Amino acid sequence: MNQTHEGLLLRIFVGESDRSDGRPLYEAILDLLRTEGLAGATVLRGVAGFGRSSVVHTAHLLRMSEDLPMVIECVDVADKIEGVLPAVDRMVTEGMVTVERVQVRIYRGRD
C-alpha cells in the first residue's frame, strides 16, 4: 500500500494564443516546471471557456476560436510549488493561477 503525502496542486489558466518570448505560454510554463524538477505536469486544452473579459472562446465548428482555454496542472510538495510561483507570476500576464492542498495517494512511474 502507498503512503499518503500532502502536496499542492498548481493550476494555471491561460489562453492558447498567449505567448512567452515568441512561443506558446503553456509550453514555456511546462518547460519551467520540468527544468525546476517538479514531479510532473499536464496541459489540458479546453473546448470552451471565458475569463475576466467574459468573451467566450469555443471550439464550435462555426465559430472556430484560435484562443481556446489551456490549463496546466502540476502536483508536488509545497516547497517546490511555492518555489516556481514567482516565475509563473512573471510569465502569466493574463489568466489565473490557483493553488490548493491535495493528498497524493498513488504516484508511480517507470524505473
Model pTM?
0.86
For position 62, what pLDDT does the model report?
53
Cell of 79: 516547497
Q: What is the mean pLDDT of each run of 10 residues along the chain (111 residues)?
A: 86 95 96 97 87 71 69 97 98 96 90 71
Reported as type and span, the H/E element at residue 51 is none
For position 63, what pLDDT does the model report?
53
For position 51, what pLDDT does the model report?
77
For position 15, what pLDDT does the model report?
92
For position 49, what pLDDT does the model report?
76
Count CB atoms within 10 A of the CB of residue 100.
10
Cell of 101: 492542498
Q: Where do the domains of the chain lie, and which CATH numbers do they carry?
A: 5-104 (3.30.70.120)
Pairing, β 5-15 against β 96-104? antiparallel
